[in-house]
Amino acid sequence: MRWKALRTLHLSEIQERMAAYHEKHGSLSLLHDEFAKGRMPPGRFQEYVEWTNMTHAVRAYQEGEDFEYLAEEELGLTAEDFRELTPRRLELLDLLTEGRAGSINELAEHACRDVKNVHSDLKALERMGFVALVREGRSMVPELLVYEITLILG
């Protein structure tokens, strides 16, 4: 069983990936030259496109725009993770798609659930890479990282 997700990557993840591409290929301009000359192997082309898109997203952020970068990725989830994706946890993901919750307490109130149980469920969803819990002042704010989850059978 394979999982794919369309998810938000944070700026730090983008910077790490760009550094890895730089170490692997030298520079983006070298890949651009390969592409322009028609000498780029198919596997490297995908990395070139991703690196170019990440570079544009970072530049836009540096120029004052909001940072948002979405990527479709295969997730390394297990059968145990599938069992942990309970209806209550899916409900929390769905509630987070409706808008930003200012805190775990606010999300628990909206879900009509106990804060402790919501916190526990959010920690499980965080381990699976579906949400991030971001500290803002004294509150932990749940941030949705996935917009689409695909389960591939076979």
Please report which confidence band the pLDDT of residue 71 belongs to, taking 50, 70 and 90 as the band edges. confident
Please report which confidence band the pLDDT of residue 96 belongs to, taking 50, 70 and 90 as the band edges. very high
Distances in Å between the alpha carbon of 96 and those of 35, 90, 150?
40, 10, 18
pLDDT tens digit string along 138-153? 888 999 989 888 888 8
Q: Which of 74, 65, 85 is nearest to 125 (CA)?
A: 85
Beta-strand relationship, 70-75 and 2-8:
antiparallel
* The token pair that represents 84 in the structure block: 């942990």
Q: Which amino acid is at 21?
A: Y
Q: Tokens 């970068």 sit at which residue?
A: 69
pLDDT tens digit string along 31-46? 888 889 888 887 789 8
Q: Tokens 């295969």 sit at which residue?
A: 74
Whole-number Å distance between alpha carbons of 18 and 9 = 12
What per-residue confidence (pLDDT) applies to 21?
A: 93
Name all domains of the chain by residue range, CATH numbers in brackets.
2-73 (no CATH), 77-152 (1.10.10.10)
> Residue 58, class by beta-carbon neighbours within 10 Å (0-12 exposed, 13-18 middle, 19+ buried)?
middle
CB neighbour list of residue 143: distance below 8 Å, 6 or more residues apart: 96, 100, 131, 132, 133, 134
Whole-number Å distance between alpha carbons of 29 and 8 = 26
